[in-house]
Chain A
Amino acid sequence: MVIKILITIFVAFAVSRVYLRYRDKSFGIFALVFWSLIWGIVLFFAWLPRSSDTIARVLGVGRGVEALLAIAVVGLFYAVFRLYVKLEWIEHEITTFVRKVALQKKHK
């Protein structure tokens, strides 16, 4: 029961952060719905853990918890990959800016 309450508090905190980011326009409506859905699913399985057994049967893995873990690992891997791509893009933008400054300074 304690873990369920802890997860609920954590989810409430996470959703509030998502909403705040939506309100200050850092997140669009898609990101708000997507992350709310993800945290909603976490809350759902926290309170009804046995329902994950159905997913486990569909995926062909042993128990519900294992299915959730497998999905979580894949999800995390994808999230890290997206972060890496984003980071690369930011690095690229910085380089473009540094190059622009170097060239402008030379042409002055």
Chain B
Amino acid sequence: MNVAVVIPAFNEGKVIRDVLRELSTTGYRLIVVDDASEDGTAVVAREFTSDVLEHLINRGQGAALKTGIQYALQTGADIIVTYDADGQHRVEDIKSLVRPIEAGECEVTLGSRYLTELSTQRVPFMRKVLHRLAVAYTNVTTGLHLTDTHNGLRAFTAKAAQRIQFQQDRMAHASEILEEIARKHITFKEVPVTVRYTEYSLAKGQHVGDFVKILFKIFINKLK
């Protein structure tokens, strides 16, 4: 099966080389979407893959992800994996995400850092609180039973990726993807993954203000 890993990246020059070097060992096709970085992220990415797409201006992680997914679909991917560029994911977890899809068990797999005790212990306290609130909100509004909602590591069949239509350009896309899965009754499975929290990924990650913004965006979108 043709597996494509989509990596949205914005100013990840410090870590993207290590991330792509690790990913290159998997043998999967790598698609990097440079979201108008100013630190040469795209130049580094080209050392590892010819599939580098560039946004002329910064549009956000959700927008970059959608560009990468569209390109993957246009170039014949059967399975599309989404992977953060900040070094927080482990390449070995990709196989765990792809396996259930290849076996035909489901159309989408979602990485969850809360499915194993081992990984739970690594999540900083404040993050854990915010994640719990986000999970509770998502479970109530979508009717899904999830343990993690804002994990960038996911995999979709090409058909599922086509059906999931998310519009949010920035961080709220993660919630929108889950809403689409619920609304369109797309079969999914949560897969245990480990998130590596480094100083770098913590600084780049979401904060309390971001969660408030995400909730506001979702609320306004429902009013439209």
Query: A residues engaging B (CB < 8 A)?
Result: 81, 84-85, 88, 91-92, 94-95, 98-99, 101-103, 105-107
Contact (A99, B63) CB under 8 Å given A92-B167, A106-B53: yes
- Are the C-beta atoms of A103 and B169 separated by less than 8 Å? no
Considering only CB atoms, which chain A residue lies closest to B50 in the complex? A106
Chain B CB count within 10 A is highest, among A85, A94, A98, for A98
Count of interface residues, chain B, beta-carbon cutoff 8 Å: 20
- Are the C-beta atoms of B74 and A98 separated by less than 8 Å? no
> Which residues on the A side are within 8 Å of B54 (C-beta)?
102, 105
Tell me, yes or no, whether B1 is within 8 Å of chain A by CB: no
Chain B nearest CB: distance from A34 CB in Å?
Answer: 21
Task: Kindly state the separation between the CA atoms of A98 and B57 in the bound complex, as whole angstroms.
Answer: 7
10 nearest CB pairs, A to B: A102-B53, A95-B63, A99-B67, A95-B59, A98-B55, A106-B53, A95-B169, A98-B56, A98-B59, A102-B67
Considering only CB atoms, which chain B residue lies closest to A97 in the complex? B56
Chain B nearest CB: distance from A94 CB in Å?
Answer: 7
- Are the C-beta atoms of A103 and B59 separated by less than 8 Å? no
> Which residues on the A side are within 8 Å of B56 (C-beta)?
98, 101-102
Specify the main secondary structure of chain A where it touches its partner: helix
Chain B nearest CB: distance from A91 CB in Å?
Answer: 7
- Are the C-beta atoms of A91 and B33 separated by less than 8 Å? no
- A sample of 26 inter-chain contacts (CB < 8 A) reads A81-B220, A81-B223, A85-B220, A85-B224, A88-B220, A88-B224, A91-B169, A94-B57, A95-B59, A95-B60, A95-B169, A98-B56, A98-B59, A98-B67, A99-B55, A101-B56, A102-B33, A102-B53, A102-B54, A102-B55, A102-B67, A103-B53, A103-B71, A103-B74, A105-B54, A106-B51
Chain A nearest CB: distance from B130 CB in Å?
Answer: 24
Contact (A84, B169) CB under 8 Å given A98-B55, A103-B53, A106-B53: no
